[in-house]
Amino acid sequence: MNKNKIIMTIIIGLICFVLVYVMFLQFKVIEQTDLTEIKTMQESELREAIASWKSKYEEANEELLSTIEKKKEYEEKINSNEEATEILEQELETANIILGKTDVKGEGVIVTLSDNDEAVITARDLIILVNELKDAGAEAISINDQRVTNMTDIADITEKNIVINSQRITSPYTVKAIGNKTYLQSALSVKNVGFIDEYINIHNKSIKLETKDNIKILKYEANERADKMVLKYIDK
Amino acid sequence: MIIVAIIVGCLLGIILGVNAPVIPYSISGYVAISIIAALDSVFGGITSTLKGNFDLKVFVSGFFGNAILSILLTYLGEKLNVDIYLAAIVVFVGRMFTNLSIIRRFYIEKWSKKTKKN
C-alpha cells in the first residue's frame, strides 16, 4: 500500500515534469519563431515562397543583364557617333579649306608680279602661275588677297586691269600660295621650262619670289556677299 | 505527498524546459497537439480522482497513448492533406471542458454542503 503510494507519487511527479517540460519547450519555440510571416506558414508554403522568390530573383537578374547589355550597346553607339562626328568635322574642315571658306595659315611662297616699262602682266600669266602652283601642291592660293577657288575667274578687262572674283586689281600682283615651300619654289624656278624662265624672263617681266613660314590667306568673301543678297531678296 | 511531487515535477520541468535546446519549428505542431492530449489526460485523471475511481495504469497509458496517437493522427493528416489535428483538438478540448465542469461542480457541491452545515 505504502509502496504503491510512493510509486504513484513518483509517476505523477514524472508525468507533471514531462508535461511542463514539453509545454515550456513549446513556449520557447513559439516565442523564438515569432516572425509573423514564418509563424503562419507551413513548411511547404515556405518552400513555395522560396521558389517564387528564386524565380523573381532570376527574372530580376535577367533584366539586369539585358539592361547592362543595352547600356553597352548605347555606349558603343555613342562612341561610334563621336567617331563619325569627328570624321565629318575633319571632312568639313578640308572641304572648307578647298572651297576657300576659311582663313588658312602656313608655310608657302609669295610671288610678286608687277608691270614694268617693257611688259605688262596679263591674266594669262596669272592663270598659268595659279595652275603651276596647284600642280606643285599648293593648298590655298590668293591674288591680292582675293582667294582663288575653283569658281574663280581671272580675266583681262583693260591693258592694266585684271578682274578676279569680279574684283578689279592692278599691278603689283601678290600671289600667295600655301603648301610645301621648297616644292613650290623649285616648281616655279625650274630652268628653261619653269614658270619664271618660260613665261616671265623671256618677256622681261618683273617677278619677285620669296618663301615664308607664316603666310595667311583670307577666306573667299564673295560667298558672304551672295548670302546677304539672297537674304535681302527673301526679305522683300 | 502527491502535491509535493507535482510541485517538484513542475519546477524541474520549468527549469529544464526553459534551458532546453530549441526544436525545429516543423515539429512544434506535433508537440502542441501532444500537449493538448496530455492536458486532457491530466484533467481526466483529476476528475477520476475526485470520483474515486482513479487508476494509475489507465492514467499513464492515457497520458502517453493519447499524446502519441494524436501525433500519429496529425502526421497522417499532413500526409493526406487533411487537418485531422483540428478534430483531435476539438475532441480533447471538449473533453477538457467537460472534465473541468465536473471538477467545478464537485467543489461547488462540497462548498455548498459546508455552508449548509454551518
Look at residues B87, B61, B64, B60 and name the one whose alpha carbon lies nearest to residue B74: B87
Q: Where are the domains of chain A?
A: 34-99, 104-223
The answer for A 10-49 residues in CB contact with B (under 8 A) is: 10-30, 32-33, 38, 43
On the 0-12 / 13-18 / 19+ scale of CB atoms within 10 A, A200 is buried
Q: Which of B7, B19, B35 to mutate to test the interface with A (most CBs of A within 10 A)?
A: B35
- Take residue A156 and report the three cell numbers written for it: 583681262
Query: What would the mean pLDDT of A158-165 be, rounded to a whole number?
Result: 84
User: Does A233 score more than 70 pLDDT?
Assistant: no
pLDDT tens sequence across B31-82: 888 989 999 998 998 899 888 888 888 888 989 998 999 999 889 988 898 8
Q: In angstroms, what separates the C-alpha of B53 from chain A's closest C-alpha?
A: 14
φ, ψ dihedrals at A114, nearest 5°: -140, 150
Query: What would the mean pLDDT of A16-26 be, rounded to a whole number?
Result: 87
pLDDT score of B1 = 75
CA dist B20 and A21 (Å) reads: 9
- Placement of cell 500537449 in the chain: B35
pLDDT tens sequence across A118-147: 788 888 888 888 888 888 888 888 888 888
CA dist A23 and A31 (Å) reads: 12
CATH 3.40.50.2000 fits A104-223, yes or no: no
Percentage above 70 pLDDT, chain B: 100
Percentage above 90 pLDDT, chain A: 13
Q: Where are the domains of chain B?
A: 26-117
pLDDT tier for residue A28 given thresholds of 50, 70 and 90: confident
Query: What would the mean pLDDT of A102-113 be, rounded to a whole number?
Result: 87
Q: Which of A3, A24, A36, A40 to mutate to test the interface with B (most CBs of B within 10 A)?
A: A24
**Do A16 and B38 lie within an 8 Å CB cutoff?**
no
pLDDT tier for residue A71 given thresholds of 50, 70 and 90: very high
Lowest model confidence (mean pLDDT) among A25-39, A80-94, B6-20: A25-39
- Placement of cell 572641304 in the chain: A95
Residue that wins the pLDDT comparison between A36 and A7: A7
The mean pLDDT value of chain A amounts to 82
pLDDT score of B105 = 92
pLDDT tier for residue A236 given thresholds of 50, 70 and 90: very low
User: Does B113 score more than 70 pLDDT?
Assistant: yes
